[in-house]
Amino acid sequence: DTAVSQTPKYLVTQMGNDKSIKCEQNLGHDTMYWYKQDSKKFLKIMFSYNNKELIINETVPNRFSPKSPDKAHLNLHINSLELGDSAVYFCASSQSGGNTEAFFGQGTRLTVV
Amino acid sequence: LAKTTQPISMDSYEGQEVNITCSHNNIATNDYITWYQQFPSQGPRFIIQGYKTKVTNEVASLFIPADRKSSTLSLPRVSLSDTAVYYCLVGNTGFQKLVFGTGTRLLVSP
């Protein structure tokens, strides 16, 4: 069983389109995250949700909107896609409290053309 | 948040022991040190975590000196499949506060 699964794995779309990336975790964790890894391989946190509530919202354009329908899901919707949005997006989950490890999904490679 | 400094890259050969050192001079009393590994086209994966002295698991060892201002990840007898980026993270309030640095790109050659 895949602990953290993202769909789709690859996403190619045109500028200006709206797209969504879905993430699900079956680990029973209460915290989920979205990370962006750019072409230089820097991993930057975008959002973090704990029990469906937003707890971290880094400097991310308003075009990015996370949605957490329940603790096991955290989806990322992106409006009006731009060339600079091209990157690999990783979903992750962990259990809050103490220093616990996080589990990452396989990533979604988004290419905006 | 404690900032970490790691070498950008390291090269090794199969069968050798690899030691990757991370500097975290302003580590706080309650901070833990955690290492993640990322293979190409995959998400990061937890390797090991420690607070002081030495921690060992089936994958690696983590050495932390008494002043805790640095730590060393030790990979015994590396293989080609250990080629990856290794990240050192420092924090004390759970994963959500940890910041990924640039990491160390390890290349293992035959």
Residues of B in contact with A30 (CB under 8 A): none
B110 touches chain A (CB under 8 A): no
| A84-89 average pLDDT score | 96
User: For residue B13, what are its two tokens?
Assistant: 């050969």
Q: How many residues does chain B have?
A: 110
Sign of CA dihedral A4, A85, A8, A42: negative
> Tens digits of per-residue pLDDT, A30-52?
989 999 998 888 888 898 888 88
Which residue in B41, B87, B94 is closest to A99 by CB distance? B94
| DSSP one-letter string for A63-113 | TEEEEEEETTEEEEEE-S--GGG-EEEEEEEE-SSSS---EE---EEEEE-
CB contact under 8 A, B96 and A98: no
Q: Residue B91: closest CA among chain A residues belongs to which residue?
A: A99
Query: Does residue B1 surpass a pLDDT of 60?
Result: no
Greater confidence (A21 vs B90) lies with A21
Residue B108, amino acid: V
Q: Which of A43, A46, A50 to probe the B interface (max B CBs under 10 A)?
A: A43
Q: What is the 3-state secondary structure (H, E, C) of chain B?
A: CCCCECCCEEEEECCCCEEEEEECCCCCCCCEEEEEEECCCCCCEEEEEECCEEEECCCCEEEECCCCCEEEEEECCCCHHHCEEEEEEEECCCHHHCCCCCCEEEEEEC
A68 touches chain B (CB under 8 A): no
Average pLDDT, chain B: 91
At B90 the pLDDT is 87
Residue identified by tokens 């990856």 is B84
